[in-house]
């Protein structure tokens, strides 16, 4: 069963991420998420990545639309990070590689992709396999509850799928750390990923709503 739509702020609507949303999601990721490895791969690669999320059984996402239909933010999630990566590569591996072009041969890119492939296995012992892959909200929509609505929709979908604990990785110096803490995520670990320290947060999806109600974002 596909994810369902949710109400957000006045006039806003949270609905399931669709393939047609990939260009907007890629743009939001590239411009709004703290600089990181995925952002460095470029919007063409990100478009391929987000176009495959809705078709992967292990993946899902949501977007928040304003009254005019403009996508204000998105969230992408995976029942199992490792399984999602394998499914994404099987479905869109060739277009992803073509989007990277010659950069695929760069040692730094090859190393980063290998790290991303191994990341789920390396975190499996201490952290839950399900995870939030990315969240981005456009600057003009921040402070209006868009981030809160996206997190709430994702946690509800995880619960619907029988998943009770979820992780998210955040650059240790990024501004998003405070947001996730206000959402009720707890810091579970700090480790190095793609050459920089990242904080690993975890949340119970069946916690009382007040325990993970974030400040507006």
Rounded Cα distance, 214 and 152, in Å:
9
Residue 9 has a pLDDT of: 58
Residue 216 has a pLDDT of: 42
Please, are residues 15 and 36 in contact by the beta-carbon 8 Å criterion?
Answer: no
Residue 196 has a pLDDT of: 78
Whether 183 maps to a domain, the answer reads yes
From the CA atom positions of the chain, what is the Rg in Å?
A: 16
Q: What is the pTM of this model?
A: 0.85
Whether 77 maps to a domain, the answer reads yes
Residue 124 has a pLDDT of: 52
Residue 130 has a pLDDT of: 94
Residue 214 has a pLDDT of: 43
Rounded Cα distance, 54 and 60, in Å:
6
CATH number of the domain at 119, please. Answer: 3.40.630.30
Q: How far apart are the first and last CA of the chain?
A: 29
Whether 217 maps to a domain, the answer reads no
Residue 125 has a pLDDT of: 60
Whether 157 maps to a domain, the answer reads yes
Instruction: Put the strands of the sheet holding 6-7 in their side by side order.
Output: 6-7, 13-16, 59-65, 71-78, 131-137, 165-171, 196-204, 186-193
Whether 1 maps to a domain, the answer reads no
Whether 109 maps to a domain, the answer reads yes
Rounded Cα distance, 81 and 115, in Å:
13
Tokens 């969230």, residue located: 75
List the domain range (segments joined by +) for residue 73.
6-212
Whether 26 maps to a domain, the answer reads yes
Domains held by the chain: number: 1
Whether 14 maps to a domain, the answer reads yes
Tens-level pLDDT at each residue, the chain (217 residues): 556 555 455 578 999 999 999 999 999 999 988 767 777 788 998 999 999 999 999 999 999 999 999 999 999 999 988 888 889 988 988 998 888 888 777 777 666 666 765 655 555 567 898 999 999 999 999 888 999 899 999 999 999 999 999 999 888 777 788 899 998 999 998 887 767 788 999 999 987 554 444 444 5
Residue 10 has a pLDDT of: 58
Residue 30 has a pLDDT of: 92
């Amino acid at each position: 069963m596909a994810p369902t739509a949710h109400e957000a702020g006045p006039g806003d609507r949270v609905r399931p991420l669709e393939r047609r949303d990939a260009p907007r999601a890629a743009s939001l990721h590239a411009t709004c998420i703290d600089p990181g490895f995925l952002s460095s791969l470029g919007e063409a690669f990100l478009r391929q990545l987000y176009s495959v999320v809705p078709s992967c059984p292990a993946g899902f996402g949501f977007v928040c639309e304003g009254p005019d239909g403009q996508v204000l933010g998105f969230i992408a999630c995976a029942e199992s990070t490792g399984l999602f990566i394998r499914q994404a590569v099987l479905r869109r591996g060739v277009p992803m590689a073509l989007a990277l072009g010659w950069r695929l041969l760069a040692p730094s890119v090859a190393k980063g992709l290998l790290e991303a492939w191994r990341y789920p296995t390396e975190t499996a012992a201490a952290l839950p396999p399900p995870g939030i892959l990315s969240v981005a909200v456009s600057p003009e929509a921040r402070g209006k509850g868009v981030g809160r609505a996206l997190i709430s929709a994702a946690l509800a979908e995880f619960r619907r799928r029988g998943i009770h604990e979820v992780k998210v990785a955040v650059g240790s110096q990024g501004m998003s750390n405070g947001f996730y803490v206000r959402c009720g995520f707890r810091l579970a670990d700090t480790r190095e990923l793609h050459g920089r320290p990242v904080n690993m947060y975890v949340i119970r999806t069946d916690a009382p709503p007040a325990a993970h109600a974030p400040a507006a974002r």
